[in-house]
Structure 1
Amino acid sequence: MESIVYGIIRDFGGSVSAEHGIGLHKRPWLSYSRSPAEMALLRRMREMLDPRGILNPGKVF
């Protein structure tokens, strides 16, 4: 069911997340609405803001 719903969202240019970010449950679907370049930028920003990885460890961004 999720692949159908998120596929429709992707086809319409929507997003699988809201302003609060992406959760672990939606992690597999993040590439439906974010390009590899966007995801790399988000990772780099997180690394810059939290270089020791202590804020919300294990979470995506």
Structure 2
Amino acid sequence: MKTVLLVPDMSCNHCVMRITNALKEINITEFEVKLDEKKVYIKSSDCDVELILKKLEEIDYPAEIVME
């Protein structure tokens, strides 16, 4: 199972880098950031989604869970 997050404020490669670094800081290692879709795909099913959302909020990239 994957968690998909929509990050509407993601607009450039610098944004992708900041999001990538933030996820790595909280030990999320299996993910893909897609700038063209403004989405982050978390591949690990045992991740703490609330922690991820909080971390992204801290770096000014609020996200929401997308159901797919």
TM-score by length of 2: 0.30
Which one has a bigger Cα radius of gyration?
1
Q: Which has the higher strand share?
A: 2
Q: Which of 1 and 2 has higher RCO (CA within 8 Å, sep 6+)?
A: 2
Q: Which has the higher helix share?
A: 1
